[in-house]
Amino acid sequence: MASVIFALRVGVALTAMLTLPGLLALTCGSIWEEWRGLQRWIVAVSLSIAFYPIFFYWTRSAVPLLTLGPYKMSALLLLCAALLGWRLKERWRDLFDLDQLEWVAVGIFAMTLFSRFWMIRGLPYPAWSDSLHHTLLTELTARQGRLPLTMEPYFPINLADYHLGLYALSGTLQWLARIPAHSALLVVSQVLNALCVAGVYLVVDRKANRRGALIGAVVVGLLSHQPAFYVNWGRFTQLSSQTVLFAAWLVTWEALRCAQRWWPLAKFKVVWYAVLAAVLSAAVFLLHFRVAVFYLPLLVSAIAWELYRSKRSKVLRPLLVGMVLVGALGALAAAPGAWSMIVAIAAKLTQSAASQTTAATVQSDYFKFDWKTVPILVAPACVLALAALATAWGAYRKIKLVVLSALWAAVLLLMGNAYRLGVPILNVTNLGAVLIMLYLPIGLVIGAGGADLLQTLVCGSQQRLSRVTLALVVATGFVGAHLRTLDIEPFRYFVTQEDALAMNWIADNTPPDALFAVNTYFWFDEYPHGTDAGYWIPYFSNRQMTSGVMLLSLAPPEYRSHVVRMSKAAEQLAVDGSSLSELQALGVDYVYVGARGDFSGDELNLDELAKSPDLELVYRTPHVGILRIEVTGD
């Protein structure tokens, strides 16, 4: 019964969050008729997602004393519901006016969503190293009633140049559904993961055909292991931005066309379209700064195409009006996050030469990538083969969406390899971040190219073609849904229920300033993170641990050095136990041995550590132990 109540509470909160603001926005400015059927729902959900980061960033910047919370956000959503009901009193049936293929698409989305939640059954805590700071920032957002400026009191990390938009969503869900931060983060992220499919469907449906949109949705949602695999890495901020990327692109494109058709005859419609485009584009940036760079080639393609069309039809002036409106409003919407980032980057440019040398060394390792990982990071071999076939066919048939998607993928790969030029300003991303988002152009290519190829092969009536498409979609989706539920790497899930009980003991039986040594892995030489539940001690118990979160690079240099020293001592403790005196000198009080141990090799051995006369075993269960350090002098 408790799980049913939990699901209902979360479902109602998410449905309200992800539909009401966007649907209300579409009812203004005569935009409602521009998007029909399932396209309307996808754009509305995208606008709803985009609303939260912009609203939270602007309230923090414009009204710094204002704090948000469950009552204010509930009142805001109730107001949206009331206004939406008034606006749709004569046309609410339009919301459910979907054709047969659109209802099939709804089924695909449902299967995708089901697979995302089924794969994490029995895994209530987010995975891997990034998830800790995502959870802490969700908790800080909910606790402070606004986007946090630092990670205090957990870590002395300044957040001026970090994207915080995701936590506007997860923090709001934590308020409305009354669930813990880690649950809110995981639920929001899995829903956003499933919604990436909707973006692919939207583009192919709008720019190619509906059968291709179904194929693309099945490929991305159920056949490819990306983006489903993101849950293992905790890559939730990049995922959230990719969720709205395609809607931002299409709405911006349509806003430019609207300006050409309606300026100055219907100025409000043009301006409101520009507002919606600006909101979506700004959200891409505020959710993840790097994805905004990936988004730029798509924006350039839309602008270049419309400039070409306007030159032929001699409507350049209205197009320029639309471009200025979208650009100015987008810059305004993103301003709070952009300004803090610019200030922080400017400060980093003045850092010492030694610090810059260290950063360059770390970055050189960060940008290098092994191409052997492509089938793991991009897509299974069968999907890559389909993409190659669809690209070749689309190029032969001159299918515009296929060619554009292939060019976009090529530009992204160039971005991922730009570090080879040795020009620091071009190092905006690494190849890994590019590879794990290539599922987006792959979905477009297979959707548009595959549908055209299928039509050529079937050589029958449209009704027969639809039946063949549906059969392929259902069969592939059924197999793919099962495969996606297996996309779990258990070693990346650090926290077990046994660890959760130990966290309660820590909170009840240790001093507030207690410091714990934990199993440690060095991602790079200066970037340690934990490998078991000890890493999560700050979140569960409000105590400190020796390792650092993955935002350690944003911390002051002296703190980073201290964390690295503690982490190396903790790592040495797993090898021969010789660093106990050093750990005690560094202020470490306890050693935590979690159920997961250390996936990378040497790990803290509870039985061996318990034999040390300098350690006292104070807590133990079958797989978890806590020892107090009591080193005595010679």
pLDDT at 353: 43
DSSP class of residue 150?
B
pLDDT band at 444 (very low <50, low <70, confident <90, very high): very high
Task: Express each pLDDT in 18-51 by its tens digit.
Answer: 999 999 999 987 888 889 999 999 999 999 999 9
Domain-located, residue 273: yes
Domain-located, residue 94: no
Helix or strand holding residue 42 (H, E) = helix 37-62
Task: Express each pLDDT in 418-428 by its tens digit.
Answer: 877 777 776 77
Q: Are residues 425 and 463 in the same domain?
A: yes
Domain-located, residue 71: yes
Q: Are residues 476 and 588 in the same domain?
A: no
Q: Are residues 459 and 514 in the same domain?
A: no
Q: Are residues 462 and 592 in the same domain?
A: no
pLDDT at 543: 95
* Domain assignment of residue 573, given as a range: 494-629
The percentage of the chain sitting over the pLDDT mark of 70, rounded to a whole number, equals 93
Average pLDDT, the chain: 89
pLDDT at 594: 94
Cα 359 from chain centre:
25
Average pLDDT over residues 605-624: 92
Task: Please state the pTM of the whole predicted model.
Answer: 0.93
The total domain count for the chain is: 2
Q: Are residues 471 and 519 in the same domain?
A: no
Residue 354 has pLDDT above 60, yes or no: no
The percentage of the chain sitting over the pLDDT mark of 90, rounded to a whole number, equals 67
Q: Are residues 480 and 588 in the same domain?
A: no
Alpha carbon distance 382, 223 (integer Å): 9
Q: Are residues 368 and 477 in the same domain?
A: yes
Domain-located, residue 634: no
Average pLDDT over residues 498-503: 96
Residue 153 has pLDDT above 70, yes or no: yes
Collapsing DSSP states into helix, strand and coil, what is residue 610? helix
- Which of 485, 473, 379, 470 minimizes the C-alpha distance to 114? 485
Task: Express each pLDDT in 108-120 by its tens digit.
Answer: 999 999 999 999 9
- Domain's final residue, options 484, 507, 534: 484
Domain-located, residue 284: yes
Collapsing DSSP states into helix, strand and coil, what is residue 379? coil
Collapsing DSSP states into helix, strand and coil, what is residue 623? coil
pLDDT at 392: 94
Q: Please, which residues bridge with residue 628 across strands?
A: 590, 616
Q: Are residues 425 and 542 in the same domain?
A: no
- Domain's final residue, options 431, 453, 484: 484
CB 631 within 8 A of CB 590: no
- The CA distances from residue 321 to 274, 313, 459, 477, in Å, are 10, 16, 45, 44
Phi/psi at 158 (5° precision) = -85, 135
CB 408 within 8 A of CB 441: yes
Alpha carbon distance 586, 580 (integer Å): 10
Pairing, β 544-545 against β 615-620: unpaired
Cα 136 from chain centre:
16
- The two tokens of residue 218 are 């099945």
Residues 6+ apart with CB under 8 A from 479: none
Q: Are residues 264 and 340 in the same domain?
A: yes
- The two tokens of residue 256 are 């430019």
Domain-located, residue 95: no
> For tokens 């620091």, what's the residue?
424
Domain-located, residue 419: yes
- Domain's final residue, options 432, 456, 484: 484
Q: Are residues 466 and 512 in the same domain?
A: no
- Which of 546, 536, 623 minimizes the C-alpha distance to 234? 536
pLDDT at 19: 96
Task: Express each pLDDT in 180-206 by its tens digit.
Answer: 999 999 999 999 999 999 999 999 999
Domain-located, residue 306: yes
pLDDT at 606: 92
Count of beta carbons in the 10 Å neighbourhood of residue 407: 13
Q: Are residues 509 and 453 in the same domain?
A: no
- The CA distances from residue 416 to 61, 290, 294, 375, in Å, are 33, 11, 10, 17
Q: Are residues 525 and 472 in the same domain?
A: no
Cα separation of the two ends of the chain: 59
pLDDT at 499: 96
